[in-house]
Amino acid sequence: MPAYSADDLALAALLRIVPTGYRLIDVSDTRFPGVREKFTRLALRHLGPHPTLVGFCGPDQDPREAALAAARWAAENLRPTAIQRRVDPAVLVVALEPPPGVEGGSVPGAPARSTIWTVRGGRLASPARPRGVPPARLVRDAAASLERGEPPPSIGTIDVAERTLMVGRPRGRRLSLGGGAGIVIVIAALLALRYLPVLLPRPPGVAPGNQCPPAGCTALGPQDNGRVVQVTQGALVTVTVPLAGGTPAGCFTDSDPAVLQLRQCTTVEGGSPALVALYTAAGPGSATLSLEGYSVTLVVR
């Protein structure tokens, strides 16, 4: 048996997973009857086309039973909405030292895409990864840190990470695009994107008049608040957000600089100031950019 518990593994992994867009599910949450008690810890990401439940099980819990229960809940509750017309939910169960006979992989018969990853002897086996689940390296790094004898984070540390992700929602000042002021903000954002060549230096290898490197580029704005966006490794990503409260103290906060590398961050002055940031998708994984009520998660593949 390992020197750490399933809860230790869950806390260490969730500290890395929560910033990619997940919310912790409390054991008393009445929205998950018959599901939450089958896991040591459970987290949910409900935004985007691939909402996902991630749960952790210990040696005394049945990961297959937990996966089927979570998949039934996901199939019944994670449905299309007027905003997100297509959804394909997924379930990931991370089992620490599961009972004999339990192997990792897809769960047959589950009503939603489900998979089990196992951790035995400090080694993660992740034979399948449904689209939308966190990268395996986040769980692998968590297990490795515990194997080195590092203490797991406290639940308070994870709560801080979650609150940082959700800053400005639903409390606090929100960006509004209604009325004449909204039109001005939208025009300002479009102008910022239009004149990006003047505001930002060209990345190496980009010819004049072409703002996208060979791998492509993605332009994000206020309409992408709360979204999960997929980009390819090496792509250029620009993010433009109107500043309702004036010049910020800094640029976006991001959860994993190894995934998104900041190249330039500029404030567009004028009647409707905006923040324009330029990133390169540096490596595979997920990173969440947040600033004053705006948050977008980018998944680099």
- Domain borders along the chain are 6-165, 179-200+213-300
pLDDT at 146: 94
pLDDT of residue 3: 86
CA distances from 26 to 33, 43, 72, 279 (A): 12, 9, 19, 35
Count of CB atoms within 10 A of residue 235's CB? 20
| Residue 233: predicted pLDDT | 85
Q: Are the CB atoms for 278 and 238 separated by under 8 Å? A: yes
Return the SS3 of 5.
coil
Least confident of 93-97, 231-235, 242-246, 281-285: 242-246
**What are the C-alpha distances in Å from 114 to residues 47, 96, 165, 188?**
18, 17, 26, 43
Q: What confidence score (pLDDT) does residue 212 get?
A: 37
Cβ 262 vs Cβ 287: under 8 Å: no
What is the reported pLDDT for 279?
85
The pLDDT of residue 157 is above 80: yes
Q: Which of 14-23, 86-95, 219-228 has the highest mean pLDDT?
A: 86-95
pLDDT for 131 equals 85
Q: In 3-state terms, what secondary structure has residue 147?
A: helix
Residue 143 has pLDDT above 90, yes or no: yes
What is the rounded average pLDDT of the residues 165-190? 51
**Given a cut of 90, is residue 98 above it in pLDDT?**
yes
What percent of the chain has a predicted confidence (pLDDT) above 90?
Answer: 36
- How many CA within 13 A on the CB side of residue 89? 22
Q: Report how far residue 71's alpha carbon sits from residue 108's, in angstroms, rounded to the nearest whole number.
A: 11
CATH number of 179-200+213-300: 2.60.40.2020
Is the pTM higher than 0.85? The answer reads no
Sign of CA dihedral 171, 165, 196, 270: positive
For residue 123, give the H/E element and its range.
Answer: strand 123-125
| Residue 88 pLDDT greater than 60, yes or no | yes
Q: How far apart are CA 22 and CA 47, in angstroms?
A: 9
Which pLDDT belongs to residue 221? Answer: 84
Question: Model confidence over 182-232: pLDDT tens digits?
Answer: 555 655 655 555 555 444 444 443 333 333 344 457 888 888 888 888 888
Q: Judge whether 161 and 15 are in contact, CB under 8 Å.
A: yes
Cα–Cα distance, 162 to 38 (Å, whole number): 23
**Per-residue model confidence (pLDDT) at position 166:** 57
CB distance 279 to 246 below 8 Å: no
DSSP labels for 197-208? HHHSPPPTTPPT
